Amino acid sequence: MTLNATGKRGAFLHLNITPQPKAERAREPVTRSRGLVRGQFPSTKMKRMIAWESQLEQKACYHFEYSPAVVAFREQPETLCFSYQNRMCEYTPDFQITLCNGEIWYVEVKPLSKLFKPDIIERLQLAHQFLADKGYSFIVITDEELNYPTRIRNLSILRPYLRFEIPSYITQQTITWLVQSTDPTLEALSQFLDSKSTAFETCLFAFRTGPDFGQCTVSANPHP
């Protein structure tokens, strides 16, 4: 809890978005318990291991890693403090992502079923408004946006091709092919391009944002 210049209780947020050689989480993982799965995601984009605390967070890491709109991401970036039910409440988002246009987004990864609980949705709405007042976006990504086994399997196959540069003319050829094709499968695209590695496209991801947390998508063009 803090007092602002007028002596009243107020919310505060400590932000540190400058490049850091070693990222530190705002909080340590909760005590390990039976049934919970935790691990680390080897990020080529960030050149370090990214800690995750659920399988949904692990899947989110895959999407951040391969989405062209995301240039950087980190886990448990900052702790927010704001008033909730007549008391000061601490809340740590799961991730912070930086987009190619310089925007900073804070991310909560949560099962969709949780969004139907009034106390949780109220806290998420408070976090959304609090960050909006600071000039930041707050999004929620649920299992509905992340549970695509085929996509995750394809993203794991993509790992050797992370540094593969695709010329712009190939991209245009691919777009034209997708519009005209009646059978737009990966195998058919591979045959058209005569290259399986070139056929893999960087995945985009959907998300939800307040106040109603309806589903949105990241722009397909990372450089509008």
Render pLDDT for 20-34 as a digit per residue (tens, 0 to 9). 445 566 555 544 444
Q: What is the mean pLDDT of residues 55-61?
A: 94
**In-domain check, residue 176:** no
Average pLDDT, the chain: 75
**In-domain check, residue 21:** no
Q: How many domains does the chain have?
A: 1
**In-domain check, residue 208:** yes
The pLDDT of residue 220 is above 70: no
> Sorting pLDDT into bands at 50, 70 and 90, what band is 64?
very high
pTM above 0.85?
no
**In-domain check, residue 27:** no
Angle at 145 between CA 139 and CA 150, to 5 degrees: 145
Render pLDDT for 107-153 as a digit per residue (tens, 0 to 9). 999 999 999 999 899 889 999 999 999 999 999 999 999 988 888 88
Q: Domain range holding 87?
A: 39-160+203-224
Q: What is the mean pLDDT of residues 12-19?
A: 40
Phi, psi values for residue 91, rounded to 5°: -145, 130
> What local confidence, expressed as pLDDT, does residue 191 receive?
65
> What local confidence, expressed as pLDDT, does residue 4 receive?
39
CATH of the domain at 59: 3.40.1350.10
Structure token digits, residue 85? 């039910």
Q: Residue 107: which residues within 8 A CB-CB, separation 6 or more?
A: 60, 93, 94, 95, 96, 97, 138, 139, 140, 141, 207
